[in-house]
């Protein structure tokens, strides 16, 4: 499923984010930036030790990365030039600012991509695995955040891709995209 937002193609597909040929892939990281399971583990495994080394340098400079923010490294052995490590919120029921923090993780990632003149970026479904954010709600937050960024901020992006690992996740994002208000 895909749609245009201005000059940018927004694509939803099922797949493995480590295999995407895009300028930047986004990692669903944690505040330590030192790796973990899920998509984080897959990216570090596929990208090799260089990515973790760069993360450690960032940690030495600025400690870690707060929830809602993102940092950027090279892509190591991946075909992507950059990995953007975004930290989404852990789901605590929905009243702890989770929506805003999740939107912020997407916005921070897009700003870094734009600052590095990326023309394409691939996102996983941040926070909906180990962090247990309900995927139906996360999909709406993610798509609205991306659309708002693409409309309001200057950027170089021609394609934004959501790479969903499971069929149910893809279906949730498709439903959310179809339900996005035209405004």
User: Which residues belong to the active site?
Assistant: 40
Asked if 108 is part of the footprint of ligand AR6 (rule: CB under 6 A), the reply reads no
Q: Could you write out the DSSP letters of every residue in 16-29?
A: -GGG--SSEEEEEE
Choose the stretch contacting ligand AR6; rule: CB under 6 A; options: 56-64, 68-76, 77-85, 121-129. Answer: 121-129
- What is 46-105 written as a DSSP string? HH-HHHHHHHHHHHHHH-S--TT-EEEEE-TTSSSSEEEEEEPPPPSSS-SSHHHHHHHH
Report which of 45, 131, 42, 38 is spatially closest to residue 91, judged by C-alpha positions. Answer: 131
- In angstroms, give the least distance from the CB of 63 to ligand AR6: 16
* Tokens standing for residue 179: 């339900």
- Helix/strand/coil for 2: strand
Which of 37/49 has CB closer to ligand AR6? Answer: 37
13 φψ region: left (φ > 0), alpha (ψ -120 to 50), beta (else):
beta
User: Which listed residue (23, 40, 69, 98) binds ligand AR6 by CB under 6 A?
Assistant: 40
Interface segment toward ligand AR6; rule CB under 6 A; list 38-46, 62-70, 74-82, 111-119: 38-46
Kindly state the number of chain residues that form the binding site for ligand AR6, as judged by CB under 6 A: 25
In whole angstroms, how close is the CB of 33 to ligand AR6 at the nearest point? 9
User: Which residues of the chain form contacts with ligand AR6 (CB under 6 A)?
Assistant: 16-18, 28-30, 36-40, 42, 88, 124-131, 163, 165-166, 169
């Amino acid at each position: 499923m895909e749609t245009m937002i201005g000059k940018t193609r927004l694509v939803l597909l099922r797949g493995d984010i480590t295999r995407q040929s895009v300028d930047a892939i986004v990692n669903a990281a944690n505040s330590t930036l030192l790796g973990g399971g899920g998509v984080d583990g897959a990216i570090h495994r596929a990208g090799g030790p260089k990515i973790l080394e760069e993360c450690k340098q960032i940690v030495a400079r600025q400690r870690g990365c707060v929830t809602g923010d993102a940092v950027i490294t090279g892509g190591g052995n991946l075909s992507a030039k950059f990995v953007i490590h975004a930290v989404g919120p852990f789901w605590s029921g929905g009243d702890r600012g989770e929506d805003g923090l999740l939107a912020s993780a997407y916005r921070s990632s897009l700003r870094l991509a734009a600052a590095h003149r990326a023309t394409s970026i691939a996102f996983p479904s941040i926070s909906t695995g180990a962090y247990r954010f309900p995927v139906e709600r996360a999909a709406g937050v993610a798509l609205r955040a991306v659309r708002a960024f693409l409309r309001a901020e200057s950027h170089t992006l021609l394609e934004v891709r959501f790479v969903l690992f499971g069929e149910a996740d893809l279906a949730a994002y498709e439903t959310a995209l179809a339900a996005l208000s035209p405004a």
